[in-house]
């Protein structure tokens, strides 16, 4: 029974069988074809038995393992490796079918690998999750063909593995490296000249490429016989909070991901940058009530606490309660802080309903309202209008797009910083805004 459960017939088997049937049927009309068909049928049966024997002779003809990260990064390409080892004395062709988590909606995964006799090989592919949560992998099914290719032997391995999908830690690491490198502009991060001298002396160190030559300490250089510079550090311990609106407007999807997940990824990125810049990072999430509050801190476990808090965020599709947000900020944040509010106002009337609470918050803190461009509207604006209906559609799209810019003007009128961005550029533009505010000494 074990043999039959792992035995599968190939297309080559049915093709050969079909040819034999045709040959035998024609044998009733053409006499000499019938004995030829009988001989061919006997040869076919022998070859099938030989194929079964050589495939099933070794107890373990193939060994496999799926190598998957302990956690996956949401919205990014995550590498998966299938390691295969053949114990057959002849080369084999392997058809791989991995039972991927249902969240990926990938029901057609199929790959082919070729393994030489008693050799190893690795097949690699990537998956891009677009939702946070637990992803359940099934088994990897490997169907092995001998050179005859009449039957297959199935192997199953690495079954039932659960892997959590966290906010994008890949983006977090990438932007962390960029924020402290000399290649910021290549990725859209602006170099902003700092205004004023909100810095304090830290140490004298040897000059390295990229240091500001204006900080050269000539006395130390003369004493050491090597170029030395004064090293300064920014004023520390400024509080930076990422505030995420989890209301129903943040469930709008773009490129398969919701605005909420874009905001969660950007919050993790900017929190990590703030911690690396010696600031204290915190988190607030809210919808009909405030649901998560992580006080700003820079303890060693702070990033882990923020990551776990962001991983567990879900929405109940309710209206965002800005009154509850204002009450929480007033009661629990005593020091002037930078508040990065990720939300989505689709109309000027929607903003004006919440504007009194935003103005109250902005009196005590530096508030930045970050909301989203509707990229589909901008794509519609770029299309040509070939009919009267197209003209109407483009006119309405222009009105919606213009209203977004009116929201920016309205916020700035009351001294509230505003950032209008596409979802794809959210992390980069948020970093730019943070660096700009620090350079201007507004924190």
Residue % of the chain over a pLDDT of 70: 89
| Cβ pair 90, 119 in contact under 8 A | no
Mean pLDDT of 84-97: 96
Q: Annotate 353-380 with DSSP letters as a single string.
A: HHHHHHHHHHHHSEEEEEEE--HHHHHH
Q: Is the pLDDT of residue 133 over 70?
A: yes
The answer to whether the CB of 269 falls within 8 A of the CB of 308 is no
Q: Which residue has the higher pLDDT, 327 or 237?
A: 327
The pLDDT assigned to 442 comes to: 77
Shared-domain flag, residues 48 and 106: no
Position 198 pLDDT exceeds 90: no
Whether 111 and 160 map to the same domain: the answer is yes
Q: Are residues 157 and 215 in the same domain?
A: no
Query: With bands split at pLDDT 50, 70 and 90, how would you rate the model's confidence at 185?
Result: low
**Which pair of structure tokens corresponds to residue 220?**
């130390």
Over residues 164-179, mean pLDDT: 88
Asked whether residue 193 carries a pLDDT value surpassing 70, the answer given is no
106 and 22, same structural domain? no
Give the number of residues written for the chain: 443
Contact at 8 Å (CB) between 219 and 196? no
Position 253 scores a pLDDT of: 85
Cβ contacts of 399 within 8 Å, gap of 6 or more: none
Cα separation, 76 vs 216, whole angstroms: 42
pLDDT band at 197 (very low <50, low <70, confident <90, very high): very low
Q: What is the pLDDT of residues 6-35, one digit of tens each?
A: 999 999 999 999 999 999 999 888 888 999
Q: Are residues 336 and 386 in the same domain?
A: yes
Last residue of a domain, one of 29, 56, 83: 56
Q: Is the pLDDT of residue 196 over 50?
A: no
**Which pLDDT score is estimated for 175?**
86
Q: How confident is the model at residue 378 (pLDDT cuts 50, 70, 90)?
A: low
Residue with the bigger pLDDT between 396 and 40: it is 40
pLDDT reading at 194 higher than 50: no
Average pLDDT taken over every residue of the chain:
88
Residues 82 and 150 in one domain: yes
Per-residue pLDDT at 420 exceeds 60: yes
89 and 220 in a single domain? The answer is: no
Domain C-terminal end among 38, 56, 74: 56
Is pLDDT at 186 greater than 50 in this prediction? no
Of 166, 182, 214, the position where a domain reaches its end is 166
Check whether residue 290 and residue 402 sit in a common domain.
yes
331 and 281 within one domain: yes
> Total structural domains in the chain?
4
> What CATH number is associated with residue 93?
2.60.40.10
277/152: higher pLDDT: 152
| pLDDT exceeds cutoff 80 at 393 | no
388 — pLDDT class (breaks 50, 70, 90): confident
CATH number where 181 lies: 3.40.50.410
User: What tokens were used for 199?
Assistant: 């810095």
Look up the domain containing 206 and give its range. Answer: 200-233
Residue corresponding to tokens 């596409």: 422
List beta partners, residue 326. none
User: How far out from the chain centre does Cα 290 lie?
Assistant: 26
Quote the pLDDT of residue 195: 41
What confidence tier does 56 reach under pLDDT thresholds 50, 70, 90?
very high
pLDDT at residue 177, as a whole number: 73
Return the pLDDT at 277: 86
DSSP helix/strand/coil, 291: strand
141 beta partners: 97, 156
Q: What are phi and psi of 320, to 5 degrees?
A: -70, 135
Classify burial at 264, counting beta carbons within 10 Å of its beta carbon; exposed 0-12, middle 13-18, buried 19 or more.
buried
Which residues 6+ apart lie within 8 Å of 151 measured at CB?
7, 8, 9, 10, 13, 48, 51, 52, 55
Cβ-Cβ contacts under 8 Å for 62 (sequence gap 6 or more): 84, 85, 86, 87, 88, 92, 94, 142, 144, 153, 155
Per-residue pLDDT of 238-247, as tens digits, reads: 899 999 999 9
- Which residue's entry shows tokens 């991983």? 311
Q: Can you state the angle between helices 33-56 and 11-26, rounded to 10 degrees?
A: 160
Number of H helices, E strands in the chain: 12, 21
- Half-sphere exposure of residue 360, counting CA atoms within 13 Å on the CB side? 14
Start-to-end CA distance of the chain, whole Å, equals: 73
Same domain, 365 and 245: yes
Cα angle: 393, vertex 394, 398; to 5 degrees: 120
Based on the fold, state whether residues 294 and 412 are members of the same structural domain: yes
Among the listed ranges 113-122, 201-210, 395-404, which one has the minimum average pLDDT value? 201-210
Query: Within this chain, do residues 217 and 286 fall inside the same structural domain, yes or no?
Result: no
**Which range has the worst mean pLDDT, 177-191, 220-234, 341-355, 360-374?**
177-191
383: pLDDT strictly greater than 80? no
């Amino acid at each position: 029974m074990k043999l039959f459960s792992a035995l599968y017939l190939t297309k080559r088997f049915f093709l050969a069988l079909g040819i034999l049937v045709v040959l035998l049927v024609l044998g009733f009309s053409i006499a000499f074809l019938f004995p030829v068909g009988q001989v061919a049928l006997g040869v076919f049966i022998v070859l099938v038995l030989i194929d079964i024997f050589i495939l099933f002779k070794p107890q373990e003809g193939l060994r496999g393992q799926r190598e998957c990260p302990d956690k996956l990064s949401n919205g990014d390409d995550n590498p998966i490796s299938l390691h295969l080892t053949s114990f057959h004395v002849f080369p084999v062709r392997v058809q791989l079918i991995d039972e991927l988590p249902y969240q990926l909606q990938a029901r057609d995964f199929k790959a082919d690998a070729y393994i030489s006799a008693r050799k190893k090989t690795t097949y690699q592919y990537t998956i891009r999750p677009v939702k946070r949560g637990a992803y359940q992998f099934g088994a990897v099914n490997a169907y092995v063909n001998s050179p005859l290719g009449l039957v297959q032997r199935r192997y199953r391995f690495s079954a039932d593995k659960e892997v959590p999908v966290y906010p994008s830690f890949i983006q977090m690491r990438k932007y962390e490296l960029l924020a402290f490198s000399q290649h910021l502009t290549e990725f859209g991060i602006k170099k902003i000249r700092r205004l004023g001298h909100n810095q304090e002396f830290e140490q004298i160190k040897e000059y390295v490429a990229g240091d500001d030559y204006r900080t050269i300490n000539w006395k130390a250089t003369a004493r050491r016989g090597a170029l030395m510079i004064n090293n300064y550090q920014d004023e520390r311990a400024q509080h930076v909070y990422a505030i995420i609106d989890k209301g129903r407007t943040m469930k709008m999807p773009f490129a398969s991901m919701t605005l909420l997940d874009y905001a969660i990824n950007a919050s993790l990125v900017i929190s990590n940058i703030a911690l690396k810049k010696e600031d204290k990072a915190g988190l607030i999430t809210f919808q009909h009530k405030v649901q998560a509050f992580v006080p700003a801190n820079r303890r060693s476990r702070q990033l882990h606490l923020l990551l776990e808090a962001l991983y567990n965020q879900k929405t109940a599709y309710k209206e965002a309660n800005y009154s509850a947000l204002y009450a929480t900020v007033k009661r629990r944040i005593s020091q002037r802080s930078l508040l990065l509010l990720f939300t989505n106002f689709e109309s000027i009337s929607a903003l004006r309903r919440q504007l009194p609470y935003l103005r109250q918050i902005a009196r005590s803190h530096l508030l930045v309202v970050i909301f989203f461009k509707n990229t589909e509207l901008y794509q519609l604006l770029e299309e040509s209008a070939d009919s009267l209906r197209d003209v109407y559609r483009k006119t309405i799209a222009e009105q919606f797009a213009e209203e977004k810019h009116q929201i920016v003007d309205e916020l700035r009128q009351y001294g509230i910083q505003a950032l209008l961005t596409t979802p794809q550029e959210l992390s980069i533009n948020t970093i730019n805004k943070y660096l700009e505010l620090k350079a201007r000494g507004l924190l």
